[in-house]
Each structure stands twice: as structure tokens, then as C-alpha cells.
Amino acid sequence: METRRIGSLQVSVIGLGGNNFGPRLDADATKRVVDAALDVGINFFDTADIYGTGQSEEYLGRALGQRSSGIVLATKFGMKMDEERKGAKPAYLRQALEDSLRRLGTDHVDLYQLHRPDPEVPIADTLGALDELVKAGKVREIGCSQFSAEQIREAEAAVKPGAARFVSVQNEYSLFQREPEREVLAECERQGLAFIPFFPLASGLLTGKYRKGQPLPEGSRLSSGNRYARLLSEVNFDKVEKLIAFAGSRGHTLLELAFSWLLRRPVVVSVIAGATSAEQVRKNAEAGGWRLTEDELAEIDRIVPA
């Protein structure tokens, strides 16, 4: 599989997200998914302490076992675990990392990411503590998530000479969520940061299993609450049908279109997608190989304008 760089890390252009480990998959099912990912050349595994309130890290750590060679392991901190465990204060993030290392069964994390900005803590304080962890060998690279372009610039300005800086930004980005194109992607390019899209399949809307005029699949994410209701509009369903037709006319699937469209941008280094089965992992791994032309990109823009 093709690889791209996140700082000093070489990662597969398709990554495996761990948000299903714990909430939807037990330890055995997690191992089957992780094994399938390794079999198809995925080496980038991205999770967070908040996923399953620690279960995702625990199950992922068990599944990987001692297989550390060539694997790039990423996790995140900062979301509210409970009233005491939250935010980006230096003392807490040091403890959060120790907790993550214990659950993951490792002595270091390759990419440690601030899950979202903490308005109560100066970013310089957080970066200083993260730099200490890098110098201690417990973290190889650091990144951020859900940062605006302004916050990315603020973080860069707060880095002391010779200290660790963010090397990646992980924000939501898909054919149905193109907000990063306004400023964030350009800022990443300017600073040489890797961009990692999350929710690349728009919570499943870009998988092809949600079709106009058909009932929502039972137990699916988009049928599970108001959080995703905004995606279930007639306008979006019409766009999905047009995208399916566009991809099909060129011998490709909607899934392949969703992944390949993201990877067409050089600043995008790896498309992180969750999976609940080995078959889903295999399909994801095969989905990034369509080299879209400029004419094809222009036609996609007409179907789903930025």
C-alpha cells in the first residue's frame, strides 16, 4: 500500500480508526478487524482514550500484542472522560498518556493528539508538556484535532525554538463536509502539516448503503439519533445517487470515490475509517486507488459544491 509522511512517521494512506472497538466490537471481534488490517498493508491505527471510555485502547493494544515493527500507533487525549479526567492541562495530559500507554500495552505512542482545543489552557502550556513527553521518548510526534486555521497558527507561534510542534491536524472532511477547504488545508500546506480526515464516509452516507427511497439499515449509525439527522435530507440523497452514477459510469464504487477524492489532495496523508468486520477493512484498503483526473474532480464539484 502507498504510504505518506506524518512528520517522521511513514503511514499507510488508508488507516484504521478505533471508534468501534469497545462500543460496537468486543476484544475478539477487534482482533479480527486488526488482523485483517495488517494483512492488507494498513500500518496506521488511530484511536482515543474517550472511545469506549478506554476500551478501544485496551482492545487495540491486545490485538496488536507485540507486533510493533512498522506499526504507527496514534491516540488522543483531552475529551471528557469524567469530571476529573479532561482537558489539556499539563498535569492531566501527562497522566492521560500514562493511562493510554497502560491500556495500549506499550511504552510509547507514535502520534499523540490533542482531541480538541481547550479554551481554558494556553496552548503554549500544553505544547510545553507535550515537548517533555517527546524528549522523554514516550511520544514520537504530536498532533491536534478539530483546530481552526487560526488555532493552528496560534499553536505554531507558541512553539519554543527546538521544541516539538504539531505535525498533523485531524478534522472532519468528506464530500459532504468540505469546510477544511476554506482555510485549514491551505494552512496545513503552508506549515507542512499532515492532514488526517475523520468521518471520511460522512457517517456512512458515502458507503452506498443509504439509498433514496429505501429504509435505513437497522442499527446503522445514521438511524441511531438526531446527531446524524442533518445528513438525511432529500438533497443529500439526490447527491448520493448522482455520485453513485458518476462512479459507476467509470467502473468504480461510491466507496472508492469517497476515499480517492480525499487522497487526491497531497496534504491528506491517510484516510482514517472505522470498520466492524474483516471484509469492511479489505474494501476500505482497496478503495484509495482511483486516480481522479482534473475533469473528474470538476464534475464532482458540480455534484457536491464546496
Catalytic positions: 51
**Residue 116 in contact with residue 79, Cβ under 8 Å?**
yes
Give the three cell numbers for residue 11.
503511514
Cα–Cα dist 112/139, whole Å: 7
Three-state DSSP state, 275 = coil
Cα–Cα dist 179/173, whole Å: 7
β pairing state of 3-6 and 72-77 = unpaired
Find where cell 498533523 sits. 168
DSSP H or E stretch at residue 273: strand 271-273
Length of the chain: 306
Residue 231's CB is within 10 A of a number of other CB atoms, namely 19
Cα–Cα dist 50/248, whole Å: 38
**Residue 197 in contact with residue 44, Cβ under 8 Å?**
no
